[in-house]
Structure 1
């Protein structure tokens, strides 16, 4: 029988792409959902309710692997105290719930793979190239990622192989980061944010799915891995490349940092700062990226 992979966040941007990749590679897929959904020939849905701390344990008991993608968007709303709490708990609480079911039933998965983020290295811009061994930051993003990964360590304490995929900005067609960015650029109003010198570690959705597939299939994959392209892309480079693909040169002035801070509050650090992040470790593990040229990746993603 096909090995079963259970996804949290399976109906989101990354989850939808990854589900197709897993099915194409011979896995059966289960997805935890807050709403009722009809099963298909390839996907079975199970209910969970994080607010009530409820989960259909059959989903866990059936699974050979679990991939944890669930989590509220970092830049969807201003970072109020409540919003920060929701961002953190939407990532850690599902792991705690899954852990309790695994422990109670003495269930030993073949692997637990969790999303994480390059935000663990902090919201700042520097010339440093961050590796998986780089110091973790003590700002909101850094601490959130640390607590996220510490929750995964509880799964590892059960004797289960765990993998943490520290992801940068994910590029995909009409989804995620580009879904918010392209409307303005498409009509000729694209511009640079802040100084434009902040780095934007990115990865194409197809390459990210390859990494998750590798994390499932290769038992030697364990621990943290960065999932980004190291090409020194900055906000200015991405903005100019995107404008060029739409057939024009940026003519609007840069949006000053103080304007972004005024409208976004503390959340502005997520768009005004960024570091370079190395993908050498995952490449040495045998992953070959399909997209390492920004223009080619963006061309593939634009409608």
Structure 2
């Protein structure tokens, strides 16, 4: 199978591309940097510039499924200008792909797009399924709503549209976990606020497998991409410290302090979403890491 991947050089993209190549698939990827274009029999890069509406349509040759990951990171201070970039980077890339598929003959059957559990309301107790109507009204929820809307229109081209709402990704190569372990390694670790906020997480290998599973089974609809057993922020921080064999002496970090340091982006640390993965489990997807302690041990004890 030939797949087109956007955001292929990011944290999640790298893991997915490696998995696809290991399984003998052919990968086409889009990049905004011409210096990153590689041309190998099973791994080919193509140039695009979403802001300028430029895309090398040859990227679609032979492609059956698209894995769409492109979008500016939310883990960067949210100035007004950057908040606009977060939204536009998702909508512009989707619109450009849609235009290319509409205007050029192709055999693409499916698009599997990244999304996020940030679409759900902040709650300590509500268990969210894909059918939940309690959606958030903050910036992140608004981003995800617009993001999903930009992907939904691919159904007008008779493609199967699959959206994976991703939780907290645990990886030893970057992302949130890498930032969380820094103070803990220095003996300065602590949970945030009450620590009761629920963190619906997923091991990056399970996430890559989930994207691949979605393409292999030509899934459509929306699925929560989280492990079956979410934990509180307090449990997550304590488990990281245990795995690293570090003490937790410091008191909880107040919300006001993090707001002063991070601005509006502090919401990432204090929002709570208890999210169910039962729908994808019912499709016979098997998580390699269902509990957070073995997941963290796998990543941090090397």
What range is the shorter-chain TM-score in? over 0.9
2:160 maps to 1:161: yes
User: In 1, distance between residues paired with 2:209 and 2:64?
Assistant: 19
**Shift in Å at residue 24 of structure 1?**
1.8
Give yes or no for the alignment of 1:139 onto 2:123.
no
2:76 aligned counterpart, secondary structure: coil
8 Å CA contact 2:62–2:106 kept in 1: the answer is no
Q: Is the 8 A contact 1:173 1:300 kept in 2?
A: no
Structure 1 residues not aligned, in runs of 5+: none
Q: Where do residues 267-278 of structure 1 align in structure 2 (5 Å cutoff)?
A: 267-278=265-276
CA distance in 1 between partners of 2:83 and 2:222 (Å): 24
Instruction: Tell me the SS of whatever aligns to 1:125.
Output: coil
The equivalent residue for 2:44 is 44
Q: What is the CA deviation profile of residues 78-100 of structure 1, one whole-angstrom value per residue up to 9, with x for unaligned ones? A: x2221111111111111100100
* Shift of residue 232, structure 1, vs aligned partner: 3.7
CA distance in 2, matches of 1:248, 1:106: 57
Q: TM-score, normalised by structure 1?
A: 0.94
Q: Which runs of 4+ in 1 moved over 6 A?
A: none
Q: CA deviation at 1:30?
A: 1.0
Give distance in 2, aligned partners of 1:149 and 1:244.
38
Alignment of 1:178-189 (within 5 A): 178-189=177-188
CA contact 1:195–1:257 (8 Å) conserved in 2: no
Q: 1:174, 1:301 within 8 Å by CA — same for their partners in 2?
A: no
Structure 1 residue 39: Cα displacement = 2.9
Alignment of 1:1-303 (within 5 A): 3-35=1-33, 36-37=35-36, 38-77=38-77, 79-122=78-121, 124-135=122-133, 136-219=135-218, 221-302=219-300, 303=302
Structure 2 segments unaligned to the other structure (5+ residues): none
Cα deviation for residue 106 of structure 1 reads: 4.2
TM-score (norm 2): 0.95
Q: Distance in 1 between matches of 2:192 and 2:6?
A: 33
